[in-house]
Each structure stands twice: as structure tokens, then as C-alpha cells.
Amino acid sequence: DRSPSRGLGDVYKRQVENRRRELMSDLTHELRTPLTVVRGYLEELADGSISPSTELYQNLIKETRRLERLTDDLQELSKAEAGYLSITLIPLSLLGLLQSLIEKFSDQLLEDGPVLELIYPPDIPLALADSDRTEQILVNLMGNALRYTKKGSITVEVSRSKNQVWIAIKDTGIGISEADLPYIFERFWRADRSRASYSGGSGIGLAITRRLVELQNGKIEVESELGKGSIFRFSLPLA
Ligand code: ADP
């Protein structure tokens, strides 16, 4: 059964309410920190105990940006979890999409940074997938690979199994420890606090990514070794 509505089956719908509840409590927690910081500064400005400075305003902007990013990410995630994201499954040719993303990301690479390459078999089969959502998945995974890889390579590799086409994003970056791997797709999860400030990430990207893969009836897997690199791979059904 490859009908577009399969990802929104009954079991899935029953879990939605629970997920939304969890999401609300996570959200409250994540929003509190920047809000507290902003209110603190504003109160001190108001009573004159600190004076305005460029640095202070920059801090306020930073915290506000964080709130913005968080709400954007959350909107995407809650749409994906509740099945509100429109998913239109069509026979999709992956090569054009992958080539244009490789080109786009190549522009962001530094001279001495990692090389970015695409490996694919001569006849990539058509996937039954949604073009925009597939792009979103790739942007998230390639963006992470770039963020956590200072040198070496980032390889996007397409392969096919019996009923699926697989896309793997391999990097030679900082990697993820074995203890952390099971939690990597949890929302708000980050390998450590320092990474969050390093990446400016909210730890929602992979939760969204997994949901987008599942909504297209695919699977997502990760392999990683600390200090060596990571492989994120996801499947899409064949058209
Ligand atoms: P964030 O927005 O914080 O990057 P994600 O959900 O995309 O959130 O990723 C969650 C965490 O997983 C990241 O904070 C990082 O610790 C780890 N991670 C994700 N991708 C990679 C990668 N390619 N290499 C190393 N660590 C990664």
C-alpha cells in the first residue's frame, strides 16, 4: 500500500495527541531560558542598574533570534507530527534534486574545508516521494554534516535495494558517541551543551527529519563513531 494517506494511518493518529502533549512541555522548557534572559536585561535597563550598550543589544538580539528559530522549527515539527504537512507522493527523479543541492552547499564550503561529492549508480530509480519534503530532509542532513565536519569529505551516496532507494550522507566530522546515538532523533536533544552554542541549533532538526522520512513511508538510520564521522541514511519507496 503506497497511497499518500498511509503515513497518517489510525495508529499514527492515535499517537498524535500524546506527541503534542509532550511537545508542549518540551517547548515550555526551551522557551523559558531565552525569555528569562531577555526579561532580566529589560528589567535592569528599566531600573537603570545597567546602561544600554551595543553588546547588550546584541545579546538581546541573539536571544530573540533563538526564540525565533525555536518557534519556526517547532511549527514545522508540530505540523509534521500531526500530519498537517502536505505530502504529495509522486514518481520523483532524485538526481536533479541532489545535484542542485550539492551545488548550493558547495558555495558554503571553505577553501580548506571538506570536499563534497555525489556518488550514484548509472540508473537511479524513481522514488515515490514528495519533492519539497525530500529536499528538506537532505538540507537538514547535509547542513548537519557541514556543521560538524571541519575537514575531510562529505559524500552523498545513492544506492538501491529491492524495494527502496537509499540516500546516505557520510561525513568525516566529529561523530557521535555510542552512548548518545540512541537519542539522536529525539527532539531538543543535542550531544552536549557546547555543541548547541557552536551550531546555534535547537536539537529539533533530526526530529523533523525523521518525521518527514516516515511520512513518506521511508526509514532513517544512523551510524557514527566519535572523532571519525557519521553516516545518516534514509530510504524512500520505489515508484
Ligand atoms: P541541531 O539543530 O542542534 O543541529 P539536530 O536535531 O539536527 O539539532 O541534531 C541533534 C544533535 O545531533 C546535534 O546537536 C549534534 O550534537 C548531533 N549531530 C547531528 N548531526 C551530526 C553530524 N553529522 N555529526 C555529528 N553530530 C551530529
pLDDT at 8: 55
How far is 143 from 193, CA to CA, in rounded Å? 19
Cα–Cα distance between 29 and 210 in angstroms, integer?
22
Among 157, 140, 160, residue whose Cα is nearest residue 236: 160
CA atoms within 13 A on the CB side of 221: 8
Q: Would you state the pLDDT for residue 198?
A: 45
- Work out the end-to-end distance of the chain between its first and last CA atoms, rounded to an integer number of angstroms: 12
Q: pLDDT higher for 231 or 30?
A: 231
* Res 196 pLDDT > 70: no
Is residue 22 predicted with pLDDT exceeding 80?
no
Q: Which residues line ligand 1 (CB under 6 A)?
A: 144-145, 148, 171, 173-176, 184, 189-191, 195-196, 199, 201-206, 230
Question: Which has more pLDDT, 17 or 47?
Answer: 47
CA of 88 to the centre of ligand 1 (A): 28
pLDDT at 157 (0 to 100): 98
User: Probe ligand 1: pick from 65, 72, 176, 192, max atoms within 8 Å of CB?
Assistant: 176
224 phi-psi bin (left φ>0, alpha ψ -120 to 50, beta other): beta
Question: For residue 175, which atom of ligand 1 is closest to its CA?
Answer: 25
- pLDDT bracket for residue 197 (50, 70, 90): very low
205: CA distance to ligand 1 center in Å? 8
Q: How many CA atoms lie within 13 A of 73 on its CB side?
A: 24
**How many Å separate Cα 131 from the centre of its chain?**
16
Which H/E stretch holds residue 161? none
Atom of ligand 1 nearest to the CA of 191: 16
Model confidence at 188, pLDDT cuts 50, 70, 90, reads: low
**CA 86–ligand 1 middle distance (angstroms):** 26
- 94, 124 in Cβ contact below 8 A? yes
Expressed in angstroms and rounded, the spacing between residue 214 Cα and the centre of ligand 1 is 19
As a whole number, the mean pLDDT across the chain is: 85
